[in-house]
Structure 1
């Protein structure tokens, strides 16, 4: 049995996330998704939804066998516990495959690191990024990402 791990923030679940998880699931027999905790998201704006809600949304997808919350202090703790055969990174995630492979080897975790395929929008209005969804909502509501004149978002 081939155990696959995919990980991400999964804030405002969208078709790009679904594609990523389906692509990851196709690489093995069992897919475990690790949902990042808010404190571990340092490369982009803080997630809008709480970690448990994001985990529950990911767990509801057919491609995912189990969804887990990431460790609040050490992102490799769930990887050590799950002992995957392959970790699939999102096609546009900021992670460096070689750096992750080195960190895994340093922890004596033997698994491959692969990159998922990308997905192009299938029609003009399709949004495949949480940031694009947030921007679209703010534009439609007449506010900017910085907030309205009263500082509200």
Structure 2
């Protein structure tokens, strides 16, 4: 891989919620890692997830699961209110968006330029379900509910312990 500015390794940023880590996430992060030398992953804090239901798993647990992946060099939780903070700290050369993330590439490129970050924005390819293989959180949750007998058979959250 070519060096980034000043001969440093090419830094790549990927970001997401990563609640219920699955093969689609692994594919995304491996594609992001292939775009440079160092992959920095920003895991969204629950309070900044506004486009879908709150994550089930705590942020630290989601970050630790992402950090355990071979493709990931650095994983951190995002800033609670300003998503530019970790981006500015990392100073990436490439930002790779997931294939189904709601972000617009041109809008992200504009924000990066406004922050003084010289960075290209790419979008990773997706994986399509094949046979019994699932590659999205919603498909996995749907199958779990289907096999477990829908919500009326699930234990209530109040009955669960914190162990």
**TM-score normalised by the chain length of structure 2:** 0.86
Q: Give unmatched runs, 5+ long, in structure 1.
A: none
- Quick one: which of 58, 65, 71 aligns to 1:50? 58
1:115 pairs with 2:110: no
Q: 1:1-153 maps to which residues of 2 (within 5 A)?
A: 1-121=9-129, 123-144=130-151, 148=152, 152=156
**TM-score normalised by the chain length of structure 1:** 0.92
Specify which structure has the higher proportion of helix: 2
Aligned residues: 149
Q: Distance in 1 between matches of 2:154 and 2:55?
A: 22
Greater than 2 Å deviation, 4+ residue runs: 148-153
Q: Helix, strand or coil: the match of 2:53?
A: coil
Q: Distance in 1 between matches of 2:103 and 2:92?
A: 18
Q: Which structure has the bigger radius of gyration?
A: 2
Q: Deviations over 1:41-100 (max 9, x none)?
A: 111111111110000000000000010100010111100000000000001111001111
Task: Output the aligned Cα RMSD.
Answer: 1.6
